Structure 1
């Protein structure tokens, strides 16, 4: 890797880290933060599938904490979690 490429790569990583610290993101920042294309973000907004704010019906803004919650919603449980819950429920049923 060339020196300039290394510097640009490191700057890009720093920029992404800073986006993670910002509480309010615009569409471009959200795209960098999530890796989603801007067109997909607009599609999510149009379908009301993503939490957003649009003050004065102009510019879109996103609360990073709400986005993080949204990204982690509807998570899948691991096999170990399912087994643990199953055991817990079977013990409760035996006590009752």
Structure 2
């Protein structure tokens, strides 16, 4: 049982290493890369929320750089970042 767990973890690490060198993902690669479920990925594709290509009308492909950009969109700022922006703004716009 313990050997099986070790083998599963090694397989997952191997997939992550291989996936990190890829520039183009298929659905299975995207599942491993993002941790999203297959059904969630297909819902995102169906709603045209996630960037994808379907060159032959059948298989889905995802460009890693576009996925990274998409994953990082709508970034939230921390309280300290908001406070710093407020300070910068008030110093910049104060009356002389």
TM over 0.5: yes
**2:25 matched residue in structure 1:** 25
Match of 1:72 in 2: 72
TM-score, normalised to structure 1, is 0.90
Supply the RMSD in Å over aligned alpha carbons.
Answer: 1.5
Q: Give structure 1 stretches of 5+ with no counterpart.
A: none
Higher fraction of helix: 1
Displacement, 1:21? 1.7
Deviation of the 1:28 alpha carbon: 1.1
- The gaps in structure 2 that reach 5 residues or longer are none
TM-score (norm 2): 0.90
Question: Which residue is equivalent to 1:89?
Answer: 89
Alpha-carbon separation, structure 2, partners of 1:95 and 1:32: 54
| Distance in 2 separating the partners of 1:95 and 1:20 | 52
